Structure 1
Amino acid sequence: MLSFTQRVRDVFTREERHANISQQAQDLIPPRSSSGRKGRVNVTNDSALRHSAVWACLRLRADLISTMPVDVFRRVNGQQLEVSKPPVLINPGGDNCDMQEWLYSTQVDLDRAGNAFGLITERNGRGLPNRIELLPLNEVTVVYRGGQLSYRVGSETFDPADIWHEKQYTVAGLPYGLSPIQYAALSIGEYLSIQDYATDWFDGNAIPAAILKNNEKTVDPAKAAEAKARFKATVDSGDVFVHGKDWEYTPIQAVDSQTQWLEAKRYGLNEIARFFGCPSDLIDAAVGGSNMTYASITQRNLQFLIMNLGPAIIRRENKLTKLTPSPQYVKLNSDALLRMDPKTRAEMNEIKIRSRQLTPSESREQDNLPPYTDSQLAEFDRLFGAPNRTPEPKAATS
């Protein structure tokens, strides 16, 4: 009898798997119907950006990660020393795409589709990439055939060695990452449908169904159709419908479940925030009564860094390290996210100076100030007295 591992291997060698990342979400939500009333919206990586919470989550995460300084280090005799960055970590996409733009674009693709792709167009003498031109998601298809992985860009097929593929939200057995938009398609589709319904309502196209009744006589189908056509032609153009005492127009009021779209829209923001790893309060989507209070902005940012951004940063560091020769490694400097308020920063620097972890000149440099001059030090001595110094021990006398 074949083992489980052998059976799985046989399945992978027999079947061909294709995955176009940008089209995955379309299959979960049926398209709009062709009737007068609209059906569910078609959710894709692009249409999902109409959702304000999706846009806010992607922007927040990409803004922060892309603006973290990229540093390269190596260890010498157990000490961490910073080394110069290779060109691919300065302008990875050439002169028209610096590192910040490159990191932002790839982070947006990772967070919305679980994958980011680039074509390696230039290498250095060690065979490492010197230039990686990013590819749109809708042009890339991941192909797994006969146990071999390849990538199709448009109509051209590339080997994995020629494609930069960064993954997020991976599961065992799949050569690509899962797409949050694919699994949040129902929630996103509900929100976008509410948006369209509200727009149609205020445009006048979603007036509730009504009854146009003749109180004087029975109307045969032909006359009813004629009256309906006259009424719709007049109302749709914004004109006034004129009739005698025989006709009575009665709008059918929307049921309570149909009038809750505002509430559903508000709670939909929190659901999307969970899919995309952003606390609701950071995208201004917190529901009333659920706000949390933090002692300082530093404490709030620290929680966001540890619980939400930390794992993504580590994955990106590991992937970027592969662009540098061993034993060098890449670190994203997350200190920029932990900027403290002025009072907290001053108190922290004072503690570091007293414990000799930081010099006054280094502390002033953080505030973009030059080191103290001799005249400034003399003025401090005049105002506050010379600093206490430990007297030197006297020499022993015989």
Structure 2
Amino acid sequence: MGVWSKLTRRSRRDVTSAEDLLALARGQRTGSGGVAVTNDTALRHSAVWACLRLRADLVSTMPVDVYRRVNGILVEVPKPPVLVTPGGTKVGINEWLYSTQVDLDRAGNCFGLITERSGVVGPDGRGLPGRIDLVALSDVTVRANGSEITKYTIAGKQYDPWDVWHEKQYTVAGVPLGLSPVAYAAWTIEESLNAQQFARDWFAGGAIPLAELKNTAKTIDKKQAQIAKEAFKAAVSTGDLFVHGVDWEYKPIQAVANTSQFLEARQFGLSDIARFFGCPGDMIDAAVGGSSITYASITQRNLQFLIMNLGPAVSRRETAFSQGLVSGPRQVKLNTDALLRMDPEARARTIQTQINSRTLTPSEAREYENKPPLTEADWAEFDRAFGSRNAQPTPPAAPGAAS
């Protein structure tokens, strides 16, 4: 039975929060001595942090552009303020995109209060959002009727759906909230966090005894054992010698935290978590075994990551922004070219090929390099150096060749 159906089997109008879904997906598996997995405690795991950071870093640094289709061609138009400073003057688009992408990737949902509206009327007859103040996941619960959310409760106060910005990903039919990767990866994360806790307790001496001190000659009672223990500790704590006869045997207990099985389990957890969060293991510095895939360049590696891992999330966000933040025929695009930056030599070859094939003009190429168009004086200088602008440049002669 699914998480949502278990939660709402008594009533399709039960109040639900992301934390409720997390607890149900995890089950009551965590013991009293274990680490409870929540959206916050999951960040203690380096693989979780690395996956969320990588995806949010890339999405938040993609330029946001708005286009309008004119005669079949997309023409860039000015961005509305909500796509420049969506959280007010102190919260720019980069920070806002980073925060929302982290929530989407760890919980499948992000929420914000629409505190200002623009003068542009949206499809629902209300003004489009002019400012969206993000809220913590733990402060949000929703009331739903089937797959439709009817009320949001944020920090104890109720809001209608049109007052709340809600994006979701990892959706399934009939569920008004996105599925949480942290919830479904909870067992793997819990195992890794418990292993970290064990290792910490081990090195602090609190998990299991560090060593065994045994009397091989006779059985001793609790009082004698305590006296021997205190004498031993008093001696070794200062680095002094512990003097005893032939009846005492000291044997260090091998640390479980150093066994190959323990280390393999922790290493497996890294790649397992990477799969849950849609990041290739090698991109978060997790050891990858058995893979023979190689890439000719970093651009190819980034292209594979964009297509297979990040592209769908980018497309969903573009759709959400186009439908909810701009009006009419306008559409929002996140410029993924920022992820596919080439090295200078490859970039120059690509631009030259486009110019020679007449798909790019020299002025457009210079604009890519943040340079102004060539002036007549610039063209005249090129003509003096390479001949007429209508002629192909003559390659320089080889050294020692006859002129």
Question: TM-score, normalised to structure 1's length?
Answer: 0.84
Change (3 A) 1:138 1:255: closer
Q: Map 1:208-287; keep pairs closer than 5 Å.
A: 208=209, 210-224=211-225, 226-227=226-227, 230=230, 234=234, 242=242, 244-245=244-245, 246-254=247-255, 258-287=259-288
The structural deviation recorded for 1:81 is 2.3
Equivalent residue for 1:393? none
* 2:43–2:49 CA contact under 8 A, matched in 1: yes
Find the aligned partners of 1:241 and 1:304 in 2 and give their Cα distance: 59
Length, aligned pairs only:
375
Amino acid at match of 1:372: L
Find the aligned partners of 2:144 and 2:328 in 1 and give their Cα distance: 30
Instruction: Report the secondary structure of 2:306's partner residue.
Output: helix
CA offsets, 1:300-358, max 9 Å, x none? 22111111111111110111112111222211111111111112111111111112221
CA offsets, 1:124-156, max 9 Å, x none? 232211111000111111222587631111221
Find the aligned partners of 1:135 and 1:191 in 2 and give their Cα distance: 29
Unpaired runs of 5+ in structure 2?
A: 122-126, 393-403
The structural deviation recorded for 1:274 is 0.8
Amino acid at match of 1:363: A
User: Structure 1 residue aligned with 2:356, among 351, 354, 357?
Assistant: 354
Change (3 A) 1:340 1:167: same
* 1:30–1:40 CA contact under 8 A, matched in 2: no
Equivalent residue for 1:92? 86
Q: Map 1:331-350; keep pairs closer than 5 Å.
A: 331-350=333-352
| C-alpha RMSD of matched pairs (Å) | 2.9
Amino acid at match of 1:78: G
CA offsets, 1:9-41, max 9 Å, x none? xx87944333321454455264553xxxxx431
Change (3 A) 1:355 1:32: same
Amino acid at match of 1:299: Q
CA offsets, 1:246-297, max 9 Å, x none? 3323233356995422222222221111111111122222425525321222
* 1:281–1:291 CA contact under 8 A, matched in 2: no
Amino acid at match of 2:310: L
Q: Is structure 2 residue 139 aligned with structure 1 residue 139? A: yes
Change (3 A) 1:132 1:269: same
Change (3 A) 1:323 1:63: same
Amino acid at match of 1:358: L
Q: Is structure 2 residue 366 aligned with structure 1 residue 364? A: yes
Amino acid at match of 2:160: D
Instruction: Report the secondary structure of 1:120's partner residue.
Output: strand
Find the aligned partners of 1:379 and 1:210 in 2 and give their Cα distance: 83
Amino acid at match of 2:138: N
CA offsets, 1:184-227, max 9 Å, x none? 11111222222223333333434546443223333234544x34
323-332 or 99-108, which moves further after superposition? 323-332
Q: Is structure 2 residue 52 aligned with structure 1 residue 58? A: yes
CA offsets, 1:147-189, max 9 Å, x none? 7631111221211111111101011121101110111111112
103-112 or 157-166, which moves further after superposition? 157-166
363-372 or 311-320, which moves further after superposition? 363-372
> What's the % identity of the aligned pairs?
58
Equivalent residue for 1:290? 291
Change (3 A) 1:368 1:329: closer
Unpaired runs of 5+ in structure 1?
A: 1-7, 34-38, 391-398
* 1:94–1:131 CA contact under 8 A, matched in 2: yes
The structural deviation recorded for 1:94 is 0.6
Find the aligned partners of 1:101 and 1:132 in 2 and give their Cα distance: 13
376-385 or 298-307, which moves further after superposition? 376-385
The structural deviation recorded for 1:365 is 2.5
Find the aligned partners of 2:108 and 2:288 in 1 and give their Cα distance: 28
284-293 or 254-263, which moves further after superposition? 254-263
338-347 or 108-117, which moves further after superposition? 338-347
Find the aligned partners of 2:20 and 2:235 in 1 and give their Cα distance: 40
Amino acid at match of 1:345: R
